Chains A and B, each alone.
Chain A
Amino acid sequence: MATQQTRLLGKLAVAPSVIVLFLWMIVPLALTIYFSLLRYNLLDPGNESFVGFFNYEYFLSDPAFFAAIGNSLKLVFAVLAISIVGGTLLALLLDQAIVGRNIVRLMVIAPFFIMPTVSALVWKNMFMHPVSGLFAWLMKSVGLEPIDWFAQYPLTAVIIMVAWQWLPFATLILLTAIQSLDEEQKEAAEMDGTPPISYFYYIVLPHLARPITVVILIETIFLLNVFAEIYVTGSGGPAGNLPYLVYFQGLLNFDVGGASAGGIVAVVLANIVAFFLIRMIGRNLEG
């Protein structure tokens, strides 16, 4: 039905939002790139000068950079592994006809609705606190020395917290997928005499391949950006990831140029990851 005029009209109508969106994205990006090429320190304002790629050299050769990349990757992989394995098991469990299934499901989903800052505070002060935390109390009551999570195993502690938040998401998606498994296929498997392990391996798991890929994609994007949990629990030093390092450069070292270079590096890395993920997903979603 689209005539020449209506098509032109359509273009004119969407133009403002496209332009706004474009500016929204391009202005910060351009400014960040611009800042990343300057010597720009908040302690020394008014003395900005062009330094070329010095900030990049500095950022990329900083040992903290490799530590941060390492932490970022460890965090992403650990949480992905926990949430997918755990999510699959939980989804299988929740698919059974257990009493009070609806309430249990609601409770399982609940962590996903809690703000990261809040959950970090709750975990830090009520569970993992070495004196007043629940874990400390549990360990003391069986006569063990309590663990000071954020001092001894900060990255593990952050991983536990973040996994706790993302497990429900994976569970929810995988549960929906399991429930969409064809009834007659289940019955065919039953008549073929498929034992539970084979049933899971040959029937359920292939069926879950796509939703698992989707979970990986979405979680990776968000997990690369985890910040609140690290900031709030003060684990930034030993467990800081890339976003935390950028924050550290910019707002604790007042080095805007270095932070901008770090930001650009993070953007490039995220795009590389996204490229591979999208390819992987594309292959999985095709058929």
Chain B
Amino acid sequence: MASVSLRSVHKKFGPITVLQSIDLDIEDGEFVVLVGPSGCGKSTLLRSIAGLETINGGEIHIGERQVNHVAPKDRDIAMVFQSYALYPHMDVRRNMGFSLNLRKSPTRMVVERVSAASTKLGLNSLLDRLPKQLSGGQRQRVAMGRAIVRNPQVFLFDEPLSNLDAKLRATMRTEIKALHQSLKTTAIYVTHDQVEAMTMANRIVVMSDGVIQQVGAPLELYDRPANIFVAGFIGSPTMNFFDAVIDGKQAGLADGSLLALPASAAVTEGQKVVIGIRPEHLHFTDTGIPGTVVVVEPLGMSTQVTLDAARERVTLLALERPVLAPGDRKHLTARPQDIHVFDRASGLRVN
């Protein structure tokens, strides 16, 4: 187990900068999830930590050691790949023991470690099978077993669940989390699925275009997104955004209606802002922003209503079951403390 720290890490592919000045401290035993849209550099960052890519600037420390020029095998890390990358000609047992055998570990130790890992992962009955004789979820488990037997300082996962179906993904998510809680090894996990990020992480790192947008605990990111990008990326259905101009203690929306701002908003008269409101924080009232119902989608536990209001498409999640039909005219509001205010020019949070 070890901490990982990145100091202004740069990475370029030819002329294209893929990572710019990444600073990140991951504590010993932490489970950190990297999320971001496709192509934002998550895999590149993970592979740089693994040593599969050489960085063009900055420093990477694993534990006390600076590893910029250390070969992947000597970094004492294990990686679980998206396609699992099992060796197709070796059975499960040999797949798991391969790295230890290469290190000339004593046979007894290899056998012990492999059987401990396979017990932990429920692979005992599959040890003599070849990868092609396993299901996707079982292969996934073998890939994790292969990482576990090495007893590394850090686990790296690159979208390990993206090849599984939705149900299995949920199961494996729980298993990986449980595994982490019993092993307490530092883990860095890449995904573009924000549900995985929210449920598994101790801390989430949101990236976009090779830049870290925000680092924080899942609910911290949800409740206090640092900028418009994070606000829109975290949460499903996504946050509603309204362009607005500050008018006293209120925000004037595009259709002229006014919305009370939270007391903490540091804004000036006439400032152009973006107001963000989560779907579950919007309510129907008698006065407020007028809107027209477009679609009503009952989800069981809640009802999702799509409306046109203040020249935007707006989503509202209602826990009660409103009786509505498309075309109905309603008024919307939100409590001031539930409102997120962002500066329109910089995109940064101002409350």
Report which A residues bind B (CB closer than 8 A): 182, 184-185, 187-195, 198, 202-203, 206-207, 287
B98 close to chain A: CB less than 8 A: yes
B102 and A193 contact, CB distance less than 8 A: yes
B74 and A193 contact, CB distance less than 8 A: yes
B72 and A185 contact, CB distance less than 8 A: no
Complex CA–CA separation, A202 to B86 (angstroms): 12
Query: Does more than half of chain A's interface fall in helix, strand or loop, or is it mixed?
Result: helix
B81 close to chain A: CB less than 8 A: yes
B85 and A184 contact, CB distance less than 8 A: yes
Q: Mark B60-96, 1 if CB is under 8 A from A, else 0.
A: 0000000000011110011101111111111000000
A184 and B83 contact, CB distance less than 8 A: yes
User: Knowing A184-B81, A185-B87 touch, does A194 contact B102 (C-beta < 8 A)?
Assistant: yes
B108 close to chain A: CB less than 8 A: no
User: Knowing A182-B83, A202-B87 touch, does A187 contact B98 (C-beta < 8 A)?
Assistant: no
Report B-chain residues with C-beta under 8 Å of the C-beta of A198: 102
B85 and A188 contact, CB distance less than 8 A: yes
Report A-chain residues with C-beta under 8 Å of the C-beta of B90: 202
Complex CA–CA separation, A189 to B78 (angstroms): 11
Q: Chain A's nearest CB lies how many Å from the CB of B172? A: 18
Report A-chain residues with C-beta under 8 Å of the C-beta of B85: 182, 184-185, 187-188
Which residue of chain B is the closest to A192 with respect to CB atoms?
A: B99
User: Knowing A190-B52, A190-B72, A190-B73 touch, does A195 contact B102 (C-beta < 8 A)?
Assistant: yes
B82 and A184 contact, CB distance less than 8 A: yes
Report B-chain residues with C-beta under 8 Å of the C-beta of A202: 87, 89-90, 98
Report B-chain residues with C-beta under 8 Å of the C-beta of A207: 88-89
B83 and A193 contact, CB distance less than 8 A: no
Complex CA–CA separation, A194 to B71 (angstroms): 12
Report A-chain residues with C-beta under 8 Å of the C-beta of B86: 185
B103 and A193 contact, CB distance less than 8 A: yes
Complex CA–CA separation, A161 to B237 (angstroms): 71
Choose one: A191, A195, A203; the contact of B78 (CB below 8 Å): A191
Complex CA–CA separation, A70 to B83 (angstroms): 50
Q: List 6 A-B contacts (CB under 8 A).
A: A187-B79, A191-B50, A191-B72, A191-B73, A192-B102, A202-B87
Complex CA–CA separation, A94 to B212 (angstroms): 40
Which residue of chain A is the closest to B82 with respect to CB atoms?
A: A184
B12 close to chain A: CB less than 8 A: no
Report A-chain residues with C-beta under 8 Å of the C-beta of B74: 193
Report A-chain residues with C-beta under 8 Å of the C-beta of B52: 187, 190-191
Contacts A185-B86, A191-B78 known; list 19 others, CB within 8 Å.
A182-B83, A184-B83, A184-B84, A185-B85, A185-B87, A187-B85, A188-B79, A188-B81, A188-B85, A188-B87, A190-B52, A190-B73, A191-B50, A191-B51, A191-B73, A193-B71, A194-B102, A202-B87, A202-B98
Interface residues of B in 275-323 (CB under 8 A from A): none
Report which B residues bind A (CB closer than 8 A): 50-52, 71-74, 77-79, 81-90, 98-99, 102-103, 132, 146
Choose one: B79, B82, B103; the contact of A191 (CB below 8 Å): B79
Q: Chain A's nearest CB lies how many Å from the CB of B323? A: 52
Which residue of chain A is the closest to B103 with respect to CB atoms?
A: A193
Which residue of chain A is the closest to B150 with respect to CB atoms?
A: A192
B77 and A191 contact, CB distance less than 8 A: yes
Q: Chain A's nearest CB lies how many Å from the CB of B335? A: 49
Complex CA–CA separation, A93 to B139 (angstroms): 32
Complex CA–CA separation, A207 to B79 (angstroms): 22
User: Knowing A185-B87, A202-B87, A206-B89 touch, does A193 contact B99 (C-beta < 8 A)?
Assistant: yes
Report A-chain residues with C-beta under 8 Å of the C-beta of B78: 191
Report A-chain residues with C-beta under 8 Å of the C-beta of B98: 192, 202
Which residue of chain B is the closest to A186 with respect to CB atoms?
A: B85
Q: Chain A's nearest CB lies how many Å from the CB of B42? A: 16
Report A-chain residues with C-beta under 8 Å of the C-beta of B72: 190-191, 193
Q: Chain A's nearest CB lies how many Å from the CB of B73? A: 3
Report B-chain residues with C-beta under 8 Å of the C-beta of A184: 81-85
Report B-chain residues with C-beta under 8 Å of the C-beta of A193: 71-74, 99, 102-103
B81 and A187 contact, CB distance less than 8 A: yes
Report A-chain residues with C-beta under 8 Å of the C-beta of B88: 206-207
Report A-chain residues with C-beta under 8 Å of the C-beta of B82: 184
Q: Chain A's nearest CB lies how many Å from the CB of B136? A: 15
Q: Chain B's nearest CB lies how many Å from the CB of A16? A: 44
Q: Chain B's nearest CB lies how many Å from the CB of A179? A: 16
Complex CA–CA separation, A287 to B91 (angstroms): 14
Report A-chain residues with C-beta under 8 Å of the C-beta of B79: 187-188, 191
Report A-chain residues with C-beta under 8 Å of the C-beta of B50: 191
Complex CA–CA separation, A188 to B147 (angstroms): 10
Interface centre among A188, A203, A207 (most CB of B within 10 A): A188
Which residue of chain A is the closest to B152 with respect to CB atoms?
A: A191
Complex CA–CA separation, A2 to B85 (angstroms): 43
Report B-chain residues with C-beta under 8 Å of the C-beta of A188: 79, 81, 85, 87, 146
Report B-chain residues with C-beta under 8 Å of the C-beta of A194: 102
Complex CA–CA separation, A193 to B102 (angstroms): 7
Complex CA–CA separation, A76 to B7 (angstroms): 61
B73 and A192 contact, CB distance less than 8 A: yes
Which residue of chain B is the closest to A198 with respect to CB atoms?
A: B102
Q: Chain A's nearest CB lies how many Å from the CB of B320? A: 49
Complex CA–CA separation, A194 to B90 (angstroms): 15
